[in-house]
Amino acid sequence: MPVNLELPIYGYPAVIWTQDVVFKSKVRKDDASMDLQQQVLRTDVSGMPLEWVGYQEAVRLISLGQVSYALGRSVFSIRGGINAISGLRSSIDVNAIIATSGRHPHKHLFGKGYVPPLSNKALFRRDQSMCLYCGQQFPAYLLSRDHVNPISQGGADTWTNVVTACKRCNNYKAGRTPEQAGIQLLAIPFSPTHAEYVYLQGRRILADQMDFLLKHFPRNSVLRQRVERGKPLLS
């Protein structure tokens, strides 16, 4: 069900409606208010995924006339002030996916050969928070980035040379290769495409957003196979 937001009018506090619960001024941290954290998938006019935006940025883009079309379910309904002449209240619906006109400042980087920035958050999600040496899943604070070919031996800090490792396995492996340490690497590290990187950055991805993103994944994508098997994106 879309979340309805009513902006302040004549100095009155904002009122937020979601289902049958009303919150004023501040939103309680429960399941209903968590809907306010729902991300909107932004694409360009050709449908290429660009990034995730919050409802405030989505409303700004719609208000500026930069949204060419929208797809998916309605996730937010924003109500503004009352027109003094017509007596009508403005309203903006925000869909799960919005295609925007104009030029994204980094769009030129997203083509063939693009390599997304490497971060531990995205790396841990790529590997499903699993240590690729012992095969167990851990919370983020017990995980680390390991260089398969150690930097001390000429290895690079790149997607194809790093894996998620629990701190215990990383400490044991130290500055050695898996072969030198006598341990087995459970999966081959890979670099995600831009669309896959957008997926790895997502939170609580809706079904229509996921279907849209999957169309931009390579056919032999490890992440595609994982999604098609019904494995969720771990936080």
Band the pLDDT of 120: cuts 50, 70, 90.
very high
- The residue type at 192: P
Helices and strands, number each (H, E), in the chain: 7, 9
Answer whether 138's CB lies under 8 Å from 129's CB. Answer: yes
Domains identified in the chain and CATH numbers = 3-106 (no CATH), 120-181 (1.10.30.50)
Is the Cα dihedral 12, 18, 22, 24 positive or negative? negative
DSSP secondary structure, 125-194, as one string: HHTTTB-TTT--B--GGGEEEEESS-GGGT--SSGGGEEEEEHHHHHHHTTS-HHHHT----S------H
CA–CA dist 182, 61 (Å, integer): 54
Strands 89-100 and 40-44: parallel
Summarised one tens digit per residue, pLDDT across range 183-223 is 999 999 999 999 999 999 998 899 999 999 999 999 999 99
Summarised one tens digit per residue, pLDDT across range 8-26 is 433 333 333 333 222 222 3
Q: What is the pTM of this model?
A: 0.77
Summarised one tens digit per residue, pLDDT across range 136-168 is 999 999 999 999 999 999 999 999 999 999 999
